[in-house]
Amino acid sequence: MTMTDEAFEVQFANCTFPPELFDHKAHIRLAWIHLKNYGLNQAIENLCTQIQIYDRTHDEGIRYHATLTAAAVRIVHQCMRSIPTASFEQLLNHYPELMTNLKGLISRQYSNELLGSERAKQEVLNPDLG
């Protein structure tokens, strides 16, 4: 995607970003943009709200998962803290598991039972492992 961070952020927030382009890498990039611009807590709040609205706009509103969204943002944040001046591509090069094993990283902190619960889909829950 050759779109600037600013354009991507605005298009996503306005639900005009093409759904076919909103893949795993786009999710991670959006987290990186929000973390860089707003910090951890506001990034989680922004993305939980925006992804839920985007899902309702472009799908049936059944794919959004609050706890997974927040957990992913927290993991991206942890990676960013070790190389704070890295570009998005540098971050992915340094932490390829963000692209290849994000669910595995999340499963170190959250049980399948918790993540599978309806409550976890609707609200951000704290980790129950480790």
Q: Tokens 């993305």 map to which residue?
A: 47
**Chain centre distance of CA 51:** 9
Asked if the model's pLDDT at residue 48 lies above 80, the reply is yes
The pLDDT assigned to 61 comes to 74
Answer whether residue 25 shows pLDDT above 90: yes
Kindly report the backbone phi and psi dihedral angles of residue 90, in degrees, each rounded to the nearest multiple of 5, phi listed first.
Answer: -65, -40
Domain ranges for the chain: 5-122
pLDDT confidence of residue 62: 81
Question: What are the structure tokens assigned to 5, written together?
Answer: 């961070």
The DSSP symbol for 108 reads T
- Which has more pLDDT, 62 or 98? 98
Q: What is the tens place of the pLDDT at every residue in 66-87? A: 999 999 999 999 999 999 999 9
pLDDT, mean over the chain? 95
Q: What is the pLDDT, as a whole number, of residue 59?
A: 85
d(CA 122, CA 11): 24
- Position 45 scores a pLDDT of 98
Eight-class DSSP state of 109: T
